[in-house]
Amino acid sequence: MLLAGCAPCQPFSKQRRHDAQGKHGDAALLGQFARLVRELNPKVVLMENVPRISVVPGFSSLRRFLKALRDCGYEFDYHVLNARYFGVPQHRRRYVLLAVRGKQASLPDPDARLIAVTVREAIERFPALEAGESDAAIPNHCAANLSARNLKRIRATPVNGGSRRDWPEELVLDCHKAIQGFSDVYGRMWWDRVAPTLTSRCTSLSNG
């Protein structure tokens, strides 16, 4: 049996500006993953998270998780792997751990290089949609029902790396006039490059 899981990565993510050292309550969920390992006793355990999980100071959630694996008789291997080299069409560096009960575990070489998939190669085949439309034949292929003003903002964002910084003054939100924030907000991906890391809010217009 394989037990695969990813406790919420937000507590360890570099995107979190406060509470960035694993003090967030969700960090304790990695301990719940360890509890499931003890109770289910699977042959193989697979865990992935953001790279920062391995640099949280002190006796971190990760160190406690590794100790639990050792105590249960698992051997493990871990690396920071970039999913772009393993068929995922986005730049996504993740800490990946593979544990096998009673047997040496081995992950792919972190320097492995497969052919990366570009944005064009990943999504060009899907039919274009108008705002608010969806395709009944293709799961999850739908377009947000955006307002006319937000459609103007999209059209004013240049392809291949454009963002809200390229808008004319009349389209800029008041909040962005006062605070600069992240540069990729309302951004467009490069058509012939691998996509950036997609977050849990990637379907929101403002998240780019």
Catalytic residue positions? 9
Q: What is the rounded CA–CA span in Å between residue 54 and residue 170?
A: 45
Kindly state the DSSP code that residue 53 receives in the 8-state scheme: G
Q: What is the rounded CA–CA span in Å between residue 70 and residue 108?
A: 21
Q: Confirm if 192 and 119 have CB atoms less than 8 A apart.
A: yes
Phi, psi dihedrals of residue 82, rounded to the nearest 5°: -100, 115
For the chain, how long is the longest CA-to-CA vector? 64
